[in-house]
């Protein structure tokens, strides 16, 4: 309680004892609360009031309207460019609530690493995401998160990822075969690549996560594909649905006479049922496995053997890994095809490196070939992958709420303060990346002296690249996602020349949870000769 609150409370109490009207004092108390919340605290009393503030403030709305502009993260980038700051920029939310945008490596390091467990995802965000991802690793906080992450981490060990490369390569080749067959049926040779990228990434996470081939590439009517595409397809209606969760309770939204509510309930119910069947099937198979047979190393098997998860929690974890594990790379592959279509010179140079390093893609099925070593040591391929991930981070904006009094970059942060971590803006910030920060430049990831790929892109800090975040809450599947992306882009670019179906199309970045093109990604493809293919 502040001094002004205490003084006002004492004044009212004394006046009531003297015979004042309760009704009139109720009015004055209500008025004081409104004035305190809207004016006194946000503009005169908060310890954050001296921070540099973004332009564009509107009474009551704060900076809220510009925050809802698309693509997500672009308004934050504009604010970073226009507002001189030392790592923290103050913005106003609805009814002048205090929000922070973090802009420098020091500020980001405090939230993501040094004081990471002082911050949690906002309750409304967790309630919204839990509808689609279950109560898995992404939704857990504090000690529960530490516990679960420690027991799931072995499935993502770098040695295990290297062992998965043959599977990744085989599925990537199958993906190209399916695309080639689809092109044969289309005289215009135009395909929406998003659907096929979702199929192949679901198949891959099925093998790595469940130890089973879901077979989405061979079945275009796959139930899993249909449900995920229904949920994740970016539309204006879904964007409104997401925004309403910022201001209304889930109960209120769930009881609105809205067709989307029924769709969400049906699709999420279907996904939970499918994952429940997957868990039961895997447990039954593990029971019948020969004791001397080699243990399965997929994520689900590792979690089952640990005996640390109930069946219900196994389903939640599986919901998380199926969604996060396929959607992130599917989105990245879609944006890679977009950027390469816009930059034919880069596309040609990449294809030349792929064909030179791997003259015959079918030969890599031979176990004597070290696929991991070949792909991880192709400098231009890795430069392209990193640059795609930099410019189009799958999760463009993330929020954290301080659960206790703490500090960020030396600034006292009261409990309850919300901060925005914005990969889209940080990854494109000219203060961190230079004047060509928003250009597609794969060469920035190649060392000029050695010609080898680097992991910093020429930036002075690891915190200039936030696609996978950092610290205890960083993406546990980063190595897996990078390996998967290398395989998919190498086979796709090695097999096809690509250009936009409509060269004049203005691609609009949409999506609620992830960044995706609003109207799909229609490409004109031409198969090229590669080895004996």
Dihedral sign, Cα of residue 477, residue 482, residue 488, residue 492 = positive
State the burial class of residue 2 (Cβ atoms within 10 Å of its Cβ: 0-12, 13-18, 19+).
exposed
Q: Which residue has the tokens 């998160």?
A: 145
Contacts by 259-266, CB closer than 8 A, 24 or more apart: 263/230, 264/131, 264/231
Q: Which of 1-10, 145-154, 239-248, 449-458 is the most confident on average?
A: 449-458
d(CA 282, CA 304): 9
Per-residue pLDDT band for 107 (boundaries 50, 70, 90) equals very high
- Comparing 268-277, 372-381, 418-427, the range with the smallest average pLDDT is 268-277
Q: Tell me, what's the pLDDT at 239?
A: 73
Question: Is 286's pLDDT higher than 80?
Answer: yes
**Cβ of 249: how many Cβ atoms within 10 Å?**
12
* Tokens at 298, concatenated: 């997929």
Residue-wise DSSP of 318-346 = HHHHHHHHHHHHHHHHHHHHHHHHH-HHH
- Comparing 121-125, 251-255, 377-381, the range with the smallest average pLDDT is 251-255
d(CA 135, CA 313): 7
Find the Cα–Cα–Cα–Cα dihedral 493, 494, 496, 497, rounded to 10°.
Answer: 70
Position with higher pLDDT, 59 vs 121: 121
Question: Is 66's pLDDT higher than 70?
Answer: no
Question: Is 292's pLDDT higher than 70?
Answer: no
State the burial class of residue 295 (Cβ atoms within 10 Å of its Cβ: 0-12, 13-18, 19+).
exposed
For residue 253, what are the CA distances in angstroms to 133, 244, 249, 260? 18, 8, 7, 10
364-381 mean pLDDT: 81
Question: Is 25's pLDDT higher than 90?
Answer: no
- DSSP character for 261? H
d(CA 134, CA 319): 6
Phi, psi of 255 (to 5 degrees): -100, 5
455-459 mean pLDDT: 92
* Tokens at 87, concatenated: 């790592």
Q: Tell me, what's the pLDDT at 299?
A: 81
d(CA 113, CA 71): 27
Position with higher pLDDT, 62 vs 305: 305
SS3 call for 316: helix
Position with higher pLDDT, 26 vs 218: 218
pLDDT in tens, 482-508: 999 999 999 999 999 999 999 999 998
Question: Is 402's pLDDT higher than 70?
Answer: yes
Position with higher pLDDT, 41 vs 10: 41
Q: Tell me, what's the pLDDT at 68?
A: 62
Residue 400's Cβ-side half-sphere holds a number of Cα atoms within 13 Å equal to 27
Q: Tell me, what's the pLDDT at 21?
A: 57
Q: Tell me, what's the pLDDT at 1?
A: 47
Per-residue pLDDT band for 54 (boundaries 50, 70, 90) equals very high
85-101 mean pLDDT: 91
301-330 mean pLDDT: 85
**Cβ of 405: how many Cβ atoms within 10 Å?**
13
Q: Tell me, what's the pLDDT at 164?
A: 87
Question: Is 368's pLDDT higher than 90?
Answer: no
d(CA 318, CA 88): 36
Spatial CB neighbours of 267, under 8 Å, sequence gap ≥ 6: 227, 230, 231
pLDDT in tens, 177-229: 999 999 988 888 999 999 899 889 989 988 887 778 888 888 766 777 778 77
Please give the mean pLDDT across all residues of the chain. Answer: 86
Q: Is the peptide bond preceding residue 419 cis, with omega within 30 degrees of 0? A: no
d(CA 450, CA 346): 20
Q: Tell me, what's the pLDDT at 22?
A: 55
d(CA 175, CA 488): 8
Is-contact 108 466, C-beta < 8 A?
Answer: yes
SS3 call for 191: strand
d(CA 71, CA 404): 32
The runs of H, that is alpha helices, within 18-141 are 22-35, 64-67, 74-82, 105-109, 123-133
Which pTM does this prediction carry?
0.89
**Cβ of 59: how many Cβ atoms within 10 Å?**
9
SS3 call for 420: strand
Spatial CB neighbours of 193, under 8 Å, sequence gap ≥ 6: 179, 333, 334, 337, 521, 522, 523
- Comparing 291-305, 441-455, 519-533, the range with the smallest average pLDDT is 291-305
Spatial CB neighbours of 446, under 8 Å, sequence gap ≥ 6: 379, 380, 383, 452, 453, 454
Residue 297 known to bind ligand? no
d(CA 311, CA 318): 10
Q: Tell me, what's the pLDDT at 97?
A: 86
The β-bridge relationship of strands 98-102 and 418-421 is parallel
């Amino acid at each position: 309680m502040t001094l002004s609150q205490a003084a006002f409370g004492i004044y009212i109490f004394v006046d009531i004892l003297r015979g004042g009207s309760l009704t009139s004092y109720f009015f004055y108390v209500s008025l004081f609360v409104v004035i305190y919340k809207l004016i006194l605290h946000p503009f005169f009393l908060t310890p954050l009031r001296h921070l540099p503030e973004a332009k564009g403030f509107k009474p009551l709305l704060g900076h809220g309207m510009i925050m809802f502009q698309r693509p997500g993260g672009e308004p934050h980038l504009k604010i970073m460019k226009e507002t001189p700051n030392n790592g923290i920029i103050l913005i106003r939310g609805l009814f002048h609530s205090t929000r922070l945008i973090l802009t420098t490596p020091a500020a980001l390091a405090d939230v993501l690493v040094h004081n990471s467990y002082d911050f949690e995802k906002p309750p409304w965000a967790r309630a919204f995401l839990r509808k689609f991802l279950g109560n898995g690793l992404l939704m857990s906080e504090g000690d529960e998160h530490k516990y679960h992450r420690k027991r799931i981490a072995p499935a993502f060990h770098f040695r295990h990822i290297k062992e998965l490369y043959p599977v990744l390569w085989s599925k990537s080749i199958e993906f190209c075969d399916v695309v080639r067959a689809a092109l044969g049926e289309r005289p215009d040779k135009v395909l929406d690549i998003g659907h096929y990228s979702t199929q192949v990434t679901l198949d891959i996470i099925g093998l790595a996560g469940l130890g089973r081939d879901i077979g989405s590439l061979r079945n275009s009517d796959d139930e899993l594909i249909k449900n995920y595409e229904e949920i994740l397809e970016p539309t204006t209606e879904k964007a409104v649905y997401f925004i309403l969760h910022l201001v209304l309770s889930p109960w209120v939204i769930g009881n609105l006479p809205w067709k989307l509510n029924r769709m969400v309930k049906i699709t999420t119910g279907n996904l939970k049922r499918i994952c429940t069947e997957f868990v039961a099937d895997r447990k039954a198979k593990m029971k019948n496995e020969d004791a001397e047979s080699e243990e399965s190393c997929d994520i689900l098997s590792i979690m089952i053997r640990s005996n640390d998860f109930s069946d219900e929690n196994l389903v939640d974890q599986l919901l998380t890994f199926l969604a996060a594990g396929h959607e992130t790379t599917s989105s990245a592959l879609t944006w890679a095809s977009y950027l390469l279509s816009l930059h034919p010179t880069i596309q040609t140079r990449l294809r030349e490196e792929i064909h030179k390093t791997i003259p015959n893609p079918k030969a890599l099925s031979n176990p004597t070939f070290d696929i991991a070593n070949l792909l991880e040591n192709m400098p231009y391929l890795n430069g392209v992958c990193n640059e795609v991930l930099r410019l189009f981070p799958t999760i463009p904006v993330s929020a954290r709420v301080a659960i206790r009094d703490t500090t960020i970059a030396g600034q006292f942060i009261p409990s309850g303060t919300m901060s925005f971590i914005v990969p889209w803006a940080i990854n494109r910030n000219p203060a961190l990346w230079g004047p060509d920060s928003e250009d597609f430049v794969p060469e920035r990831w190649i060392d000029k002296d050695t010609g080898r790929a680097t992991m910093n892109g020429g930036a002075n800090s690891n915190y200039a690249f936030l696609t996978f975040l950092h610290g205890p809450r960083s993406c546990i599947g980063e190595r897996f996602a990078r390996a998967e992306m290398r395989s998919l882009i190498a086979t796709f670019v090695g097999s096809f020349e690509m250009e936009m179906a409509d060269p004049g199309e203005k691609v609009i970045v949409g999506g609620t949870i992830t960044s995706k093109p609003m109207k799909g990604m229609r490409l004109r493809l031409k198969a090229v000769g590669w080895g004996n293919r």
